[in-house]
Amino acid sequence: MKSNLFTKIYEKYYNDVFRIVFHYTLNRFDSEDIVQFTFIKLYKNISKFHEPNEDVKKWLFRVAINHAKNHLISPWKSKSNLQEDLKLFGMEEKESTLFYDLKQIAKIYRTTLYLYYFEGYNIKEIAKILNTTESNIKQRLKRGKEKLKMEIESGVK
């Protein structure tokens, strides 16, 4: 039963967890390692969950984001070719241009924008995932959109 639930959760949320981690690390190999760590932690804590639902996804995101943050301050952080990673994910030129613009803004804004626009979380849910206040999330969304707009406009000129 334990492994069956784990398999369902893994299959349902692997890609979501990978995408959020990739927005932090901007590196495929580091992201894969962090996602693996996240799911190992899930396996050890599977008794806390009864079905693959939004609570599990939020928990996975919180674990993955915390581990990604720790990884980024680690002196062992590795480098990879971002262009090659984007090709592996099948990103088209237009998507990769937006990705590069998004990459130029601070990760606190990048992650908040991603959770809001791509994952569809509301402000209250994002605040819980990122362990901060709702007003802080509102401010990050506002500033993130402004910074992204400036990045896009500077690339158009």
- pLDDT digits 0-9 by tens, 14-51: 999 999 998 888 888 889 999 999 999 999 999 999 88
- Please state which CATH number belongs to domain 91-157: 1.10.10.10
* Distance from chain centroid for Cα 15: 10
- pLDDT digits 0-9 by tens, 123-132: 999 999 888 9
Whole-number Å distance between alpha carbons of 20 and 120: 13
Whole-number Å distance between alpha carbons of 97 and 115: 19
Cβ atoms of residues 125 and 55 within 8 Å: no
Domain segments of the chain: what residues? 1-84, 91-157
For the chain, what's the residue count?
A: 157
- How many other CB atoms are there within 10 angstroms of residue 146's CB atom? 12
Q: Could you identify the residue written with the tokens 């090709």?
A: 87
- pLDDT digits 0-9 by tens, 84-140: 555 555 544 444 566 667 777 888 888 888 888 878 889 999 999 888 999 999 999
Q: Is 69 exposed, middle or buried (0-12, 13-18, 19+ CB in 10 A)?
A: middle
Of the options 3.30.70.260, 3.30.390.10, 3.20.20.80, 1.10.1740.10, the CATH number for the domain spanning 1-84? 1.10.1740.10
